Amino acid sequence: MAAPQPRYGPLVHRSVHHGAVLWIVGVVQFLAAMVVTQLGWTKPTYSLTQNYISDLGAVNCGVFASRYICSPWHLVFNVSVALLGVFLILGVLLLPSAFPNRRSRTLGLGLLAASGLGAIGVGLFPEDVNLTAHTVSALLAFAGGGFALIVLAIAMFRDTRWDGFRAYSALSGLIALVALLLFAVHSWHWGGLWADLGAGGIERLIVAPVLLWALVVAIHLRRIPSFAPRILPKTIAT
């Protein structure tokens, strides 16, 4: 009979706690910045269903892609989404020991870092300044985040620290990727539920599962005890 494979856990390196804090700060500041920037819109008011998330970062006021946009506090959004990407990447660099040393860990965290790089690009290239760079950056952020969660669900296998999180991670990634597919084919033109959600609503179905996952996972990692400090043996007097 083959020997049973070991299960990993239950502690994490203290660097994981630092990375988790960076993820919490990154997500919370981004959510707050979106609310603040939305409140800055006056005429017309910002619509969560009809406006794209990136409309918050548009630099100019006027008609863009057949809709009128005007975001007076666009700088708040653009700086915030870039910071989200930076915090996500820095967190990834501190989190590897929270997963077993597998290829799926390397690939999953690499995809998350790519998603963070995409978020930085979204902030650096507003949609009405450089649409091509903005679109590529947004696609990298969206696809990278969705695929990362599915791959990391595999990386969590046989790790007691992630009991209960494997299915949640895979489901969150799947929702994000399905929403990305619907967004890519402009499904809100089909009518029914998708029409009610609109472009903005479907886009939020891409982003929300990944942001919520990062926040929930970071809080979970903060609650896991870190490695105990090394205690040097006392010198026995002779």
Q: DSSP for 115-142?
A: HHHHHHHHHHS-TTT-HHHHHHHHHHHH
| 230 domain-assigned | no
* pLDDT of 48: 87
| Residues of the chain falling short of pLDDT 50 | 228-233, 235-238
* pLDDT of 232: 46
DSSP state of 230: P
Domain count, the chain: 1
Nearest CA-CA partner of 106 in 97, 115, 118: 97
| 8 domain-assigned | no
* Element of type H or E holding 67: strand 67-69
Distance separating alpha carbons of residues 223 and 165, to the nearest angstrom: 14
Chain centroid offset of residue 80 CA = 13
Distance separating alpha carbons of residues 41 and 34, to the nearest angstrom: 11
| 229 domain-assigned | no
* pLDDT of 236: 43
Distance separating alpha carbons of residues 204 and 8, to the nearest angstrom: 35
* pLDDT of 3: 52
* pLDDT of 4: 54
| 228 domain-assigned | no
Residue-range definition of the domain harbouring residue 92: 14-223
Look up the pTM and report it.
0.87
| 231 domain-assigned | no
Three-state SS sequence of 201-223: HHHHHHHHHHHHHHHHHHHHHHH
| 3 domain-assigned | no
pLDDT, tens only, 171-226: 999 999 999 998 888 765 666 666 677 888 889 999 999 999 999 999 999 888 87
* pLDDT of 190: 61
* pLDDT of 147: 96
Task: Kindly state the greatest CA–CA separation across the chain.
Answer: 87
